[in-house]
Amino acid sequence: MLNLSSLFPIYCSDRAVSHIFFSLCEPWNYPDSQVRMVVPNCDPSCRRPNLVEAVPRYLQWLYYRSADWPKDFTEKRFLRDIKDFDAIYLWPHTSIETFRKVKLQSKPIFLERINCYTKQAKFIIDDASSRLGIAPQHKITADMIQQEEEEISLADFIFCPSPEVKKSFIGAGVPEHKLILTSYGWSPKRFPHFSIDKPLSDTITVIFVGSVCVRKGAHLLLRAWEKAGIKGRLLLCGSMEPAIAETCSGILARSDVIHRDYTSDIAFLRKMRYDITDLNGVKNIET
């Protein structure tokens, strides 16, 4: 039997990046393999027999009062018994010290890389910001790039969830045999109101979910929407970066472009249709 231990060093809520971690690892138990998930803490709905909350529940109130303590405590708990496992699955924000300690145990390291090579990401965002005439809004530092390079050297295999992610690491000189091309799927149960039998409308609604920022290319989406002349509406759902609000103010003022703040209920957005005549209050009518 293959025993795998996975480390996700931030709170697991089954949303955002933690949804990827949880949805991949939670069902990964078969007759010939099993996985243990180690997290600092998690939402009650995420608790499973194979999930370990490293921070005692009676200390959870400290979690958001210290930036480093929960993470350090979690990594120590993770390392305590890795000798009992055959392979290690590490996620972003794991400290380089933990990478080194795992490597000393001669355990194969599988590394999840959600985004492209960090140095390339910095170049792309710097270039996009320059074209917009604004200062870069990212927080990528030379130390972050250096740590990623060491992580890559210590990892035996790297999961790349898109061809572009894999391409970025090949461009950085990472041997191709270390790169495993994967993809993230979607769960139909998260969209209970979706139906392929629903009659087509003469208009479409395009939904963008995530931070509305330069890093995610929101300015490119908005400009493309303006040029496309599509009969429909563009719904942006997520916190908006001031740089986007300023540089794309004209497009954002269009009657067919709607912005809503962050919501965890994406299915609700899919269920709704919007009265675009109310630009400020955005009335919504359930279908």
Residue type, 267: A
Q: What is the mean pLDDT of residues 257-265?
A: 84
Residue type, 97: E
Sort residue 201 into left (φ over 0), alpha (ψ -120 to 50) or beta: beta
Domain 2-181: which CATH class?
Answer: alpha beta
Instruction: List, by residue range, all CATH 3.40.50.2000 domains of the chain.
Output: 2-181, 190-286
DSSP 65: G
Q: Please tell me the distance from the alpha carbon of residue 146 to that of residue 143, in angstroms, as a whole number.
A: 5
Sign of CA dihedral 282, 223, 139, 184: positive
- Give the pLDDT of residue 39: 95
pLDDT in tens, 203-259: 888 989 889 999 999 999 999 999 999 999 999 999 999 999 999 999 999 999 999
Question: What percent of the chain is predicted at pLDDT more than 90?
Answer: 67
Q: Please tell me the distance from the alpha carbon of residue 13 to that of residue 86, in angstroms, as a whole number.
A: 27
- Give the pLDDT of residue 285: 33
pLDDT in tens, 156-209: 999 999 999 999 999 999 999 999 999 998 777 777 766 666 666 678 889 898
CA torsion, ordered 149, 152, 153, 154, to nearest 10 deg = 120
Q: Are 38 and 7 in contact (CB under 8 A)?
A: yes
Q: Please tell me the distance from the alpha carbon of residue 154 to that of residue 113, in angstroms, as a whole number.
A: 14
Q: Please tell me the distance from the alpha carbon of residue 58 to that of residue 234, in angstroms, as a whole number.
A: 44
Q: Are 63 and 70 in contact (CB under 8 A)?
A: yes
- Give the pLDDT of residue 284: 38
Q: What is the mean pLDDT of residues 138-149?
A: 95
pTM of the predicted model as reported, rounded to 2 decimal places: 0.84
Q: Please tell me the distance from the alpha carbon of residue 246 to that of residue 253, in angstroms, as a whole number.
A: 11
Q: Please tell me the distance from the alpha carbon of residue 150 to that of residue 234, in angstroms, as a whole number.
A: 41
Q: In 3-state terms, what secondary structure has residue 136?
A: coil
CATH 1.20.58.1610 fits 190-286, yes or no: no
Residue type, 261: D
pLDDT in tens, 107-121: 999 999 999 999 999
Average pLDDT, the chain: 87
CA torsion, ordered 231, 190, 51, 28, to nearest 10 deg = -90
